[in-house]
Structure 1
Amino acid sequence: MRSPLPSGVYLLSLGIFIMISCELQVLGFMPALAADLGVSIAEVGYLVSAFAASMAIGGPILMLALSRFPPRMILACLYAIFILGELFGALAHSYSQLMLARAVTGMVSGAFFGVSIGLCSRMVDPKDTLRAVAMVLAGIMLGTIIGLPLAKVIAEYWGWRESFYVVVALAVFSAALTLKAVPSLPAEASHPLKQELKGVLDVRLWWVFATSFCVIGAVYAPFSFIVPILTDLAALPEGAVTWLLLAYGLCMLAGNYVVAALAVKHAKATIMGGLAIMISVFVMFALFADIGWVAVLCLVLLGFCGVSLNPALVSRLMSLPQGQRAFINTLHASVINAGIMFGSFAAGLTLDSGFSLHVTIWLGAAIAILGLTVLGMSPQLCVSSAQTASRLPQTD
């Protein structure tokens, strides 16, 4: 019988849920936000890119600045900055102000991912590490299941600013519970800068990072514009889109746990299979996006084989020797969000250049093919038995 996970793990998952809800909330009210700020739909999509870029660049910098403090103090600082940034977004009256708010909350989110994954692994036995990581990462799926549709509903009935205030209230609630439940652990042992750089320069690490970049970038190329894809291309009613986003998130949640179970022993094969399915679904989606039931089927399948591959990506990362885990995890989160930024930004550029929404789906397929190629060329991740025992019982 498996031992129950500490309550702190579930609360870290709640924190991830809040961060993802913040990241994706603008996707739920793109037309309203574009009309209110006087910008195009593509420019609203760039707000997702800005959030991801800030996670990718600002997250590791913020994590390094806070790394000498205990985890609970780091979480307190991150929540405080996040709440202020989200409040600034709610009060923004121009596109530039909202872009700045997204940069602040994105930076915090990047650091939060890293400290949460590192902290949850310190709170459980080594044999439960991947299960705890999967639970924390479930917050990503819950952000899509609940956060994105909720933002859409709130914007429809009350306004897009109220969506920001709801996220602020959730962050205050989560911060209070998390700081009470998370154990008072010491700061991670610091390592000389040369040793940290040696770990970061490990070629195998960057092959893992490249795979993660492509997997997430492929998903977000079309997903950044999923609402107009479903309403304009597939001609689905607005009300149905909310329920479809909910179904997509539920599929992601289910896929997250299936992937976590498979990745314990077969991380690389799991990612390869997921990418192969993703490519097939993208091709079918691009060819038949104007057929409603095909669009629905493709969205559901993408839920199982897209972002839900995260536990397998983390499993490969944790099989490598590392220095300060929180920093490496934050760097990995940065690479993932660089993928989000790239996919979202590249898709936005295609629309700005006059291409149709179909091209964003083809772009996702192309990035997924690149990811499968990178994964196939990546070197074997060999770890010693001692390293494996202290991390995950996983093989590449």
Structure 2
Amino acid sequence: MASTRLVYILAIGVFGILNTEMGIIGILPYIAENYQISLSQAGSLLSIFALGVAISGPTMPLLLSKWPRKPLMLLVLAIFTMTSILAAWAPNFETLFVARLVPALLHPVYCAMAFSLAASSVARKEAPKAVAKINMGVAAGMVVGIPISNWLAVHFGLSLAFLFSALVTALVFAMTVLYIPNSLPKETISYGEQLRVLRKPTLWLSIVFVISLNGSIYGVYNYFVEYALAVSALSTNVVSVTLLVYGLMNLVGSGLAGRLLSNQAIRTIQGVLLLIIAIYSSFLVGGSQRWLAIGIVTFWGIIAGISANITQYWITRAAREALNFANGLFLTAANIGVIVGTTLCGLGINQYGIRTIMYGGIALVVVAMVVFTYQRFYERSAYSEAVHEI
């Protein structure tokens, strides 16, 4: 019971962290108007957050791995709350920029702890199910935060959109004080032992796999609004609803992933890789048919939700002895994947048009498949050699 409550509080906390990061997408035009800047300048608030996460992912969770867990969680939540309040009444754009950068550096600290604590709070076989609940918080933060922030900015002003983020993290702060025990497990191995996992070839292969798979998902998703408008000829209102359905299906996929990875991890990964190729191919063949496109998006949302769990599972599987550090590496690899996928698909759009995002997505999944197949072959060979030596 206590472990279940812990996991749910962590999932809500991750929702608050991701809402702070992604909710700003829904209010960028209002930020540009409020501070008299261009939309691209306002967009730098999203880029600086992602860059901060990518940089701090492998460093901050490692450096702070020896700190007591509960005080560290409270520190991160307090800083997120205070910087969101600062953002609500930032006198100028420079202040708002700083209010975005500071929490970005601590984002991987909380998320890495959430994944690690969820996994370690249950039996090893049940760990994927616990982690899936954390990923549901991630998906909800990315999906729910954007329309809520937009609605608050439209009806009550820009400040209320930022204060919503502050309210969520403040509530989680209170729940952490009241319901999370002081005696949470912390990393017991030394910094050197944690860094030694970087010697493992399987970890580096896992990192490339995550970059490729996440790049495939977000390389297509980040340009999908334009694709839906230009190719599928959906109205702006239908696109908004379709993206909301995609996000809700992400939650469904995350829920399914816990059971699938607990029982048939390898087959699940193989199946998902093939299904992503099938989904992008379906867009190429039938993406111009409105209702078919909406149906494909719905199924894509489920598979993308499972994919998010797969990427986290695959890196931590390769470095179980240093979970906190591994989860930090996962966050960095996932963000690099977003950059790689967005850049590759963007170059395709510039050269050949919006339809090419699907080819970019397929290309990155094929890379993920090749890396995954090679890694499995390498692991089997290494295991056979070890047995032979014994």
Which bin holds the TM-score, normalised by the shorter protein? 0.7 to 0.9
Q: Is the 8 A contact 1:118 1:325 kept in 2?
A: yes
Supply the distance in 1 between the matched residues of 2:148 and 2:62 (Cα, whole angstroms).
34
More deviation, 44-53/68-77: 44-53
The AA in structure 1 aligned to 2:171 is: F
Gap change, CA 1:57 and 1:348, over 3 Å in 2: same
Q: Residue 181 of structure 2: SS of its match in structure 1? A: coil
Alignment of 1:245-264 (within 5 A): 245-264=243-262
User: Which stretches in structure 1 are left out of the alignment for 5+ residues?
Assistant: 385-396
Alignment of 1:3-152 (within 5 A): 5-33=3-31, 38-40=37-39, 47-91=45-89, 98-152=96-150
1:212 aligns with 210
Q: How far did 1:92 drift? A: 5.0
Gap change, CA 1:133 and 1:177, over 3 Å in 2: same
1:393 aligns with none
Q: Is the 8 A contact 2:260 2:268 kept in 1?
A: yes
Supply the distance in 2 between the matched residues of 1:32 and 1:81 (Cα, whole angstroms).
24
Report which of the two has the higher share of helix: 2
Q: How far did 1:309 drift? A: 1.9
Alignment of 1:1-396 (within 5 A): 5-33=3-31, 38-40=37-39, 47-91=45-89, 98-185=96-183, 188-231=186-229, 233-286=231-284, 288-347=286-345, 353=350, 356-379=353-376, 381=379
More deviation, 3-12/173-182: 3-12
Gap change, CA 1:29 and 1:107, over 3 Å in 2: same
Supply the distance in 2 between the matched residues of 1:307 and 1:364 (Cα, whole angstroms).
16
How many pairs does the alignment contain? 380
Q: Residue 312 of structure 1: SS of its match in structure 2? A: helix
More deviation, 375-384/57-66: 375-384
Q: Is the 8 A contact 1:45 1:348 kept in 2?
A: no
Q: Is the 8 A contact 1:208 1:316 kept in 2?
A: yes
The AA in structure 2 aligned to 1:170 is: V
Supply the distance in 1 between the matched residues of 2:122 and 2:10 (Cα, whole angstroms).
13
Q: How far did 1:115 drift? A: 0.6
Supply the distance in 1 between the matched residues of 2:353 and 2:268 (Cα, whole angstroms).
32
Q: Residue 209 of structure 2: SS of its match in structure 1? A: helix
Q: Residue 310 of structure 1: SS of its match in structure 2? A: helix
Supply the distance in 2 between the matched residues of 1:98 and 1:235 (Cα, whole angstroms).
37
Q: Is the 8 A contact 2:26 2:150 kept in 1?
A: yes
Supply the distance in 2 between the matched residues of 1:258 and 1:295 (Cα, whole angstroms).
23
Supply the distance in 2 between the matched residues of 1:118 and 1:344 (Cα, whole angstroms).
29
Indicate the percent of aligned positions where both proteins have the same amino acid. 22
Gap change, CA 1:80 and 1:239, over 3 Å in 2: same
The AA in structure 2 aligned to 1:163 is: A
1:388 aligns with none
Q: Residue 264 of structure 2: SS of its match in structure 1? A: helix
Q: Residue 154 of structure 1: SS of its match in structure 2? A: helix
The AA in structure 2 aligned to 1:64 is: L
Supply the distance in 1 between the matched residues of 2:27 and 2:352 (Cα, whole angstroms).
22
